[in-house]
Amino acid sequence: MELTRARFLSLLGAGAAGAFLGGCAKSPPPIDVTEPGFGRDASGTVSMWCRGGIQRSAQLLIDLFHAAQDRIRVDLTPVQDGQYVTKLATAIRGGRMPDLVDIDDINSALFIHRGVFADLTPLIEELPFRDQLSPGHLALAEQDGRYYGVPSLADNSAMWCNAELLDRAGFTVDDATGSFEGYLEAARAVSALGPDTYGWMFPGNGSGALAFVTQPHIWAAGADLIDGPIGRQRGSIEGNDALRRTLQLLRTLWEEELVPPHAEAEDGARWPAPYHQGKVALMPIGYGVVVPDAPPALLDHTEVRLLSGPDGGQSFFDGGNNFCLPNGAQNPSAAWEFVRFCLELEQQTRLPESGYIPIRSDAATPAFRERYPLALPSLLQIDAGYAPLTLAYNRIFNQSDGPWLAMFRRAVFGGDVDGALAEAQRGFDDILRQGDA
């Protein structure tokens, strides 16, 4: 069974990755992408790894590439999402690296900061659409002003709105989504429409899923949860007003029963179900989680907005994947030719077919706008996207025993916001001091 984005976000993070990646420090000689003819008129087979969760999207692009030329064949190996980091690290350490990896943008930083991916800066800078590429993805692929990966696809969080429910409650989508005050007033009004109708939904026991949809509220206010450069990072938890207000909002939603009761135990497996059933008005989530199984009538009265901060501002989690070439790859020139093909507008505008969003802002063509209106908000405001650059992301945010989920549950379900913040500050700092960042 294909691993859905909702399920992937609920899985245990790759906590042991650091031990495996330590063996990657001694890498093969770097690939020279400035060699004459690199990435042009190549031939042969390209071995490519992708996360299992994006196999459908990767295969779509491969099929299009094979139909467009006959010099290069791409041999795809999907790897289970939860095992990707450790399996790739083991392969690189053993000298059995693929030619191309399509890797979660957050996890790409784990390898980039250990020097095992090729410097793609000259290739990226010569792209005619360089300035249209997702800056959030590129930030995770950058080290010391050089780029070791290029965006491949986007998986962004946003606020999904049942406009019909909101209208019945007396709210427009814009009125309901511009600030925390609007969120709360709309959620109360929708929940008052009748039993089994709720203003909001969140996956209260899904650590990674919660990070995906909750952090943008904090970023929209100009705050973050981790301060400092890699090597000198610490948590920014206590004294973080945007974080406190976000937790207080979610606590109020829970305490006033404006959220379905099963939200407390929801780990992501059935995350979109109440929205699909037309029972929820506001749900922070991603395109690929909602659209594939949504009734067409529901999508007809769905609108999407970016996530708001306490008093306004907008942001979204700039998730998705980066393409990277491991040093030591056998056919990197052909791999880059395939990457370049995938980045072309014709291929990028087809990504919503497989549940993902383009990583080029100029993909928002008139034809795209008409066909995929629900995929537009993050493209139109691509600079509002962000994802934190830290080598400790999985241990802090994705693992079910990490400090992020503990903080959320203690504050939202337990009502102890002060205690949750103090405990999380210690937990973030402990992990960030342990060598992962």
- Say which residues have a Cβ less than 8 Å from residue 329's Cβ, sequence separation at least 6: 31, 97, 98, 99, 100, 118, 335
Place of tokens 């989920």: 405
pLDDT, position 26: 56
- Give pLDDT tens digits along the chain (437 positions): 333 434 433 433 334 444 445 544 456 889 999 999 999 999 999 999 999 999 999 999 999 999 999 999 999 999 999 899 999 999 999 999 999 999 999 999 999 999 999 999 999 999 999 999 999 999 999 999 999 999 999 999 999 999 999 999 999 999 999 999 999 999 999 999 999 999 999 999 999 999 999 999 999 999 999 999 999 999 999 999 999 999 999 999 999 999 999 999 999 999 999 999 999 999 999 999 999 999 999 999 999 999 999 999 999 999 999 999 999 999 999 999 999 999 999 999 999 999 999 999 999 999 999 999 999 999 999 999 999 999 999 999 999 999 999 999 999 999 999 999 999 999 999 999 986 54
pLDDT, position 28: 84
CB 236, CB 224: distance < 8 Å:
yes
d(CA 18, CA 24): 10
d(CA 193, CA 157): 27
d(CA 304, CA 282): 10
- Say which residues have a Cβ less than 8 Å from residue 116's Cβ, sequence separation at least 6: 24, 27, 92, 326, 327
Residue 196 vs residues 119, 166, 384: alpha-carbon distances, Å: 53, 15, 34
CB 311, CB 184: distance < 8 Å:
no
| CA–centroid distance for 179 within its chain | 23
The SS3 of residue 7 is helix
- Say which residues have a Cβ less than 8 Å from residue 170's Cβ, sequence separation at least 6: 189
Q: What is the pTM of this model?
A: 0.93
pLDDT, position 388: 97
| CA–centroid distance for 327 within its chain | 25
Q: Which two tokens stand for residue 89?
A: 């690290």
CB 167, CB 415: distance < 8 Å:
no
d(CA 431, CA 237): 14
Residue 289 vs residues 59, 141, 187, 272: alpha-carbon distances, Å: 19, 25, 22, 7
